[in-house]
């Protein structure tokens, strides 16, 4: 089972737009909510109300400060399993619990076979696997395999929970093996890229880079004139505000 399929019919995956992501954590929370009751159930938490709350999550949203000085920027960065084409996490698994599906390329852990040896988490360069100490097995993104083919839910919901939840449309789901799919076109148009390509895992998920800045420092136009300071009409109320302003501005 841990031998990889030579090729997969589809390459289902996510495209994440780092330009639009605002780091709201909706995808991560929605993922946790769906998956603690879905295929990966439970996603246990340890010490949830105590001093050291932690637990298994399948999606983590980082925030980075990139670049120097005035041109530096904040980039919100969701990180989850990239459903790699040649994933070492699958090859190292001694039980066959980890496998890559030949039809759609989804990388899954069979929770009934996993012995919780954690070797797969060592083999993944992307930190995409989190061990669930309460359940004793490895957890990872399932690409919501229990939603995308699920005919019991409305069609609009048959996409991964994270994609459905994202309020800014920063997450896209589709077949990256099909050059004509919307996601493939988006990747081509926006210069989508692989994370840590030197890992050799050939990730399927792609990231869209932040667009070039469009502001006073880059548009080439003179900055907008500063608004003239507000001058009041000299009334008592106006003087009161001016006084308050002076005190508060100290």
Contact residues toward another protein (CB under 8 A) are 1-3, 18, 23, 28, 52-57, 60-68, 71-75, 77, 79, 88, 91-97, 113-119, 121-127, 130-133, 135-138, 193-200, 207, 209-210
Which C-beta is closer to another protein: that of 46 or that of 216? 46
Name beta bridge partners: 14.
173
Q: Is 107 in the site for ligand SF4 (CB under 6 A)?
A: yes
Q: How near is the Cβ of 16 to another protein at its closest, in Å?
A: 11
**Contacts with ligand SF4, 138-167, as mask; x by CB under 6 A:** x-x---------------------------
Size of the site for ligand SF4 (CB under 6 A): 29
Q: Which does 83 bind (CB under 5 to 8 A by kind): another protein, ligand SF4, none?
A: ligand SF4
- Which residue number, 75 or 242, has a Cβ lying nearer to another protein? 75
**Closest separation between CB of residue 154 and another protein, Å?**
30
Distance spanning both ends of the chain, measured CA to CA: 69
Task: Give 125's contacts (C-beta < 8 A, 6+ positions apart).
Answer: 88, 196, 199, 201
Q: What long-range pairs does 94-103 form, CB within 8 A, spacing at least 24?
A: 94/2, 94/119, 96/1, 96/2, 97/137, 97/138, 98/2, 98/138, 99/1, 99/2, 100/4, 100/5, 100/8, 101/5, 101/8, 102/5, 102/8, 102/9, 103/8, 103/9, 103/10
Min separation Cβ 147 and ligand SF4, Å:
18
243 binds, among ligand SF4, another protein, none (CB under 5 to 8 A by kind): none
Strand partners, 45: 55
Whole-angstrom Cα distance, residue 58 to residue 141?
5
Pick 139 or 164: Cβ nearer another protein: 139
* Nearer Cβ to ligand SF4 (134/244): 134
The tally of CA atoms less than 13 A away on the side-chain side of residue 137 is 19
């Amino acid at each position: 089972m841990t031998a990889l399929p030579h090729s997969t019919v589809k390459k289902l995956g996510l495209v994440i737009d780092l330009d639009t992501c605002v780091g709201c954590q909706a995808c991560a929370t929605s993922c946790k909510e769906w998956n603690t009751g879905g295929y990966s159930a439970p996603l246990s938490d340890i010490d949830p109300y105590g001093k050291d709350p932690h637990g298994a999550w399948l999606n983590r949203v980082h925030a980075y400060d990139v670049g120097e000085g005035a041109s530096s920027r904040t980039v919100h960065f969701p990180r989850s399993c990239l459903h790699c084409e040649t994933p070492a996490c699958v090859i190292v698994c001694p039980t066959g619990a980890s496998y890559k599906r030949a039809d759609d390329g989804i990388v899954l852990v069979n929770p009934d076979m996993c012995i919780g040896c954690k070797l797969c988490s060592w083999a993944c360069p992307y930190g995409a696997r989190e061990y669930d100490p309460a359940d004793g097995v490895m957890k990872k993104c399932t690409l919501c395999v229990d939603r995308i083919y699920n005919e019991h839910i409305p069609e609009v919901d048959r996409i991964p929970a994270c994609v459905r939840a994202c309020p800014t449309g920063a997450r896209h789901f589709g077949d990256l093996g099909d050059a004509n799919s919307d996601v493939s076109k988006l990747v081509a148009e926006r210069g989508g890229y692989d994370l840590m390509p030197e890992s050799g895992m050939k990730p399927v998920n792609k990231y869209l880079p932040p667009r070039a800045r469009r502001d006073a420092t880059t548009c080439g136009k003179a900055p907008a004139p500063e608004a003239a300071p507000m001058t009041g009409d000299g009334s008592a109320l106006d003087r009161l505000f001016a006084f308050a302003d002076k005190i508060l501005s100290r």
